[in-house]
């Protein structure tokens, strides 16, 4: 499928998805949300793709919403706005719940919706000059694409509240200190490092990685018994998989396993 606001490349089992509106710092218009959701479905259904990397074209990851694309919101009824917002939320949710690892390579500023997209990824690499901010409170509103839940889970409720309540922008090093990003890299290395991890994961047992992602995601809000049951169900699927058999054979034969994802 061709995209107008995104660039999609495939190589070695890895999809590189680039937000491609550099002239406006990859601000997200309505078309980009639709295309992000379509790309998530396309990649989820592609058996050749085992991992996804998301980055931004030009010097920025994303400056957030393209407000010009959302003019006329004041003319919507409350129900119409609520319904529209739920549809926008599905774009980021698709990457959070995709049964494949999704890695953000944050190559510059990530504000508002840009930061929220990074939060929906599994792992975040940030360049040394990256910055993060949820600026919505400065306009008398709140983050509404999943950041309230995802940020609190990632950095803890205290830091999440402070960042959301103040709308402060923080740099890459501070983001790393509080656990917002896992890796900080030189500007010219951030995408390479993200792709390096993605290629490593793409060669791994994709069924087990997908199961682990789902268990981590779904057990965080579950009671202990439900979480353990989910873990046991996922492990049962993995233990009787061809990938597990291949891993055991390869270990005994002293060779690298060739996983097939089943």
CA distance 12 to 75: 47
Three-class SS state of 141: coil
Three-class SS state of 147: helix
CA distance 133 to 19: 18
CA distance 21 to 49: 24
Is residue 136 part of the annotated active site? The answer reads yes
Is residue 253 part of the annotated active site? The answer reads no
- List the one residue out of 107, 251, 101 whose CA is nearest residue 193: 107
Of 42, 136, 182, 253, the active-site residue reads 136
SS3 of 205-233: the string is: CHHHHHHHHHHHHHHCCCCHHHHHHHHHH
Of 9, 96, 116, 229, the active-site residue reads 116
The DSSP secondary structure of 54-76, one letter per residue, reads: EEESTT-SB--B-GGGGTTGGGS
- Looking at the annotation, which residues are catalytic? 116, 136
């Amino acid at each position: 499928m061709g995209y107008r606001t995104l660039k999609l490349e495939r190589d070695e089992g890895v999809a590189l998805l680039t937000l491609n509106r550099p002239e406006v710092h990859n601000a997200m218009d309505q078309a980009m949300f639709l295309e992000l959701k379509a790309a998530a479905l396309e990649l989820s259904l592609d058996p050749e793709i085992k991992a996804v990397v998301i980055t931004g074209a030009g010097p920025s990851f994303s400056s957030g919403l393209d407000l010009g694309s959302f003019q006329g919101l004041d003319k919507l009824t409350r129900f119409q706005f609520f319904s529209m917002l739920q549809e926008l939320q599905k774009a980021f949710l698709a990457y959070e719940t995709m049964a494949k690892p999704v890695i953000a390579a944050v190559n510059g500023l990530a504000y508002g919706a840009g930061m929220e997209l990074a939060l929906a990824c599994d792992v975040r690499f940030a360049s040394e000059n990256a910055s993060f901010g949820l600026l919505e409170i400065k306009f008398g509103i709140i983050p509404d694409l999943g950041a309230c839940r995802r940020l609190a889970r990632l950095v803890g409720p205290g830091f999440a509240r402070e960042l959301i309540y103040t709308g402060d922008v923080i740099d890459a090093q501070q983001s790393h200190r509080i656990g917002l990003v896992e890796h900080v890299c030189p500007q010219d290395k951030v995408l390479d490092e993200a792709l390096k991890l993605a290629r490593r994961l793409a060669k791994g047992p994709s069924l087990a990685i997908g199961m682990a992602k789902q268990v981590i995601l779904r057990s965080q809000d579950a009671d202990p018994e439900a979480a353990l049951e989910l873990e046991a169900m996922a492990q049962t699927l993995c233990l009787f998989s061809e990938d597990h058999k291949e891993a055991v054979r390869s270990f005994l034969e002293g060779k690298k396993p060739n996983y097939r994802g089943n």
